[in-house]
Amino acid sequence: MIAVANQKGGVAKTTTVHNLGYALAKSDAKVLLVDLDPQGCLTFSVGIDPDKLEQTIHDVFVRRAKAADVKVALATNMVLDILPANIDLAGSEVYLLTRTGREHVLSRALKPLSGEYDFVLIDCPPSLGVLTINGLSAADEVLVPLQCETLSHRGVGQLLDILEDVKTFANPTLRVRGAIATMYDGRTRHARQVLSDLTDRYGLEVIDPPVNKSVRFAESPSRGMSIFQHAPSSPGAKAYSAIAEQIMKR
Of the pLDDT bands very low, low, confident and very high (cuts 50, 70, 90), residue 150 is low
Please name each of the domains of the chain with its CATH number: 2-249 (3.40.50.300)
φ/ψ of residue 212, rounded to 5: -70, 150
Asked if 18 and 33 touch (Cβ cutoff 8 Å), the reply is yes
Asked if 133 and 105 touch (Cβ cutoff 8 Å), the reply is no
Rounded to the nearest integer, the mean pLDDT of the chain is 92
Q: Above 70 in pLDDT, residue 153?
A: no
Q: What whole-number distance in Å separates Cα of residue 97 and Cα of residue 103? A: 9
pLDDT of residue 10: 85
pLDDT tens figures, 67-125 = 999 999 998 899 999 999 999 999 998 899 888 889 999 999 999 998 999 999 999 99
pLDDT tens figures, 185-209 = 777 887 778 777 777 888 888 898 9
pLDDT of residue 151: 61
